[in-house]
Amino acid sequence: MIKTLSKQIKGFVKESVLTPVFMILEVVFETLIPLLMASIIDDGINKGDMNHILFVGGGMVLCAIGGLICGILGGSFGAKASAGFARNLRRSMFANIQTFSFSNIDKYSTAGLVTRLTTDVTNLQNAYQMILRMCMRAPTSLICAMVMAFIINAKLASVYLVAIIFLAIVLASLMKFTMKYFNQVFKKYDDLNASVQENVSGIRVVKAFVREDHETKKFSKAANNLYKLFVKAENCMVSVTPIMQLTVYACIIAISWFGANMIVGSTLTTGELTSMLTYCMNILMSLMMLGMVFVMITMSAASAKRVAGVLNEKSNLTNGENPVKNVPDGSIEFKDVYFSYNETGAEPVLDDINLKIKSGETVGILGGTGSSKTSLVNLIGRLYDVTSGEVLVGGRNVKEYDLEKLRDEVSVVLQSNVLFSGTILDNLRWGNENATEEECVNACKLACADDFIQTFPEKYNTFIERGGTNVSGGQKQRICIARALLKKPKILILDDSTSAVDTATDAKIRKAFAEEIPNTTKLIISQRISSVQNADKIIVLDNGKISGVGSHDELLNKNDIYTEIYEAQTKGSGDFDAKGEM
């Protein structure tokens, strides 16, 4: 974990080194001041030597100025180093998340990743600044003050040694208890963020069903659970300050008592006692600083584990040696394919799939909810790897291809369409960032999107709100189809991506595909018979197995599932759309 996080200091090593250097110099200057003060009392005031007082006093002023300058520089470099560390953490986490396969992403909730990028990184930033400044300053101040105190009077200085041992035992015991609670706290942060995210993204549904009170209670419950854990953790931490103060005052009383007896016995001077009391405060203030560092490190330890977990997570989909960078055609073949989302022996969601699709064919995929239609097509672009068997594209195993090149040739319009904030042209150019406006318009004409875009005042420069909330579901689907077409892929997968489009428009889209991109292999997942009945072949899936493969007429004669769906739709008794033939 420490090794992983330490790599993120890159670019701010100089600041990370200079911060503790200046903090140590500040401590050195501060440590000299009590020693000079003792000299003023014993050799200046007691002997009436004004020159000595002025000379040593000047030295104290220079030490104070030196300490001030070092403190300012240490704080400045520390702030820059910790802010840079946090920036690098966020960049590295976000960049690594972009490399995740779907199976990697499945391990983390969206809210959990957001918490890691925000709250957890902020905790680490604060902790890193404390480590650079206080973790160097406090021990150095403690050691310097202890050394000077033992030089002045070893017997009296042993009081500090007892105090340090006592506090070390107390802090170690508290850390053991608080770590357990803080580990739970950040998991609850995930739940809280998940509640907020779900509510905000679904606010229209919440208001439509008048469920504001229900959502408020759900959020309050999550916030209350977080509150209870924080109270338990903080109850352990609050005892640090009173124990520290008790130790400080006990030391001052002990030093004053034993020191006064030594002065009476002529084994200690007044100046030395004054220095000892000052060093007492230095030592105990250092211990209090260490206590603060202890609190911060305890809180950030749980955050460090969570952040390091994301940084160390590696995609299980990688390129092999010398990956193939050219996909010759859009032919697809499944050989004895079994696939399961859980690799620990769970029942496969795809079972013994054997299938051949020629380049340029239009293939319909039909099946009930949960029949693994989407799982099947996800294997083509290697969004997941097969559990066993082979998936071939262009006659080669998909694992042999360069991932980026393979996915450039396999364009997918997902079941849940996503648009990003920006203009329509910006969204279309996700398919091809170098596409001209004319190419974008042509793609939209194929997807039957140009008609409605032309009705907008700013046409293709119309701004799309985040998530595409200012366009309808059908409009969003057509823009997404046009975006996929701009990639000019060898394989086009439409995953139920015309479900929000009326049947007439659906027919126009399919007709345009057949005429304009005949060499592209087209896989159409749909709930409508009308969307797939004119395909070259139709695949019927049932519980992850192929129930039938053939043309519309062939399946009507020999496949019960297909016949049942067809009759339900044509008679109007099913929940599928029954119109819109090509």
pLDDT per residue over 375-412, tens digit each?
888 888 888 888 888 889 888 888 888 888 888 888 88
Give the bridge partners for 410, in sequence order: 491
Q: Is the pLDDT of residue 33 over 50?
A: yes
pLDDT grade, residue 500 (50/70/90)? Answer: low
- Please give the radius of gyration of the chain, using alpha carbons only, rounded to the nearest integer: 35
pLDDT of residue 69: 92
pLDDT tens for 426-477 read 888 888 888 888 888 888 888 888 888 888 888 888 888 877 777 777 788 8
pLDDT tens sequence across 548-557:
888 888 888 8
pLDDT top residue among 46 and 88: 88
Question: Which string of DSSP letters, residue by residue, matches 158-177?
Answer: HHHHHHHHHHHHHHHHHHHH
Q: Express each pLDDT in 227-239 by its tens digit.
A: 887 787 777 767 7
Helix (H, G, I), strand (E, B) or coil at 375: helix
For residues 430 and 483, the answer to whether their CB atoms sit within 8 Å is yes
Q: Give the distance from CA 136 to its chain's centroid.
A: 30
> Order of strands across the sheet with 362-367?
410-413, 491-495, 521-525, 362-367, 537-542, 545-550
Angstrom distances, CA of residue 379 to CA of 399, 416, 478: 10, 18, 24
The one-letter code for the residue type at 183 is N
* The pLDDT of residue 190 is above 80: no
C-alpha 441 chain-centroid distance: 37
Q: In this predicted structure, what is the pLDDT of residue 502? A: 67
Q: Write the single-letter amino acid at 16.
A: S
Give the pLDDT score at 264. 80
Q: What is the mean pLDDT of the chain?
A: 80
Tens of pLDDT along 103-112? 777 777 777 7
CA distance 360 to 45: 102
Highest mean pLDDT among 42-56, 203-217, 248-262: 248-262
pLDDT in tens, 318-328: 777 788 888 88
Strands 545-550 and 537-542: antiparallel
Residue type, 107: K
For the question of whether the overall pTM of this predicted structure is more than 0.75, the answer is no
* Per-residue pLDDT, 273: 79
Q: Which two tokens stand for residue 422?
A: 């920006």
Q: What is the mean pLDDT of residues 51-76?
A: 87
Tell whether the model's pLDDT for residue 62 goes beyond 50: yes
pLDDT of 336-380, one tens digit each? 888 887 766 567 888 888 888 888 888 888 887 778 888 888 888
Quickly state the pLDDT bin for 36 (edges 50, 70, 90). confident
Task: Report angle CA 394, 385, 102 to the nearest 5 degrees.
Answer: 115
Contact 299, 182 (CB under 8 A): yes
Amino acid at 143: I
At 49, give phi and psi (nearest 5°): -95, 95
Q: Which domains does the chain have, with CATH numbers?
A: 2-184+233-312 (1.20.1560.10), 352-570 (3.40.50.300)
pLDDT of residue 575: 43
Single-letter amino acid code for the residue at 482: A
pLDDT band for 491, please (50, 70, 90 cuts): confident
Contact between residue 462 and residue 471 where contact means Cβ atoms under 8 Å apart: no
For 568, other C-beta atoms within 10 Å of its C-beta total 15
DSSP assignment string, 555-582: HHHH-HHHHHHHHHHHTT-SSS------
Output the CA–CA distances (angstroms, integers) from residue 162 to 68, 152, 158, 239, 255, in the order listed.
Answer: 31, 18, 7, 19, 12
What are the pLDDT digits (tens) for 237-250? 677 778 777 887 88
Rounded Cα gap, residues 101 and 317, in angstroms: 6
Residue 197 has pLDDT above 60, yes or no: yes
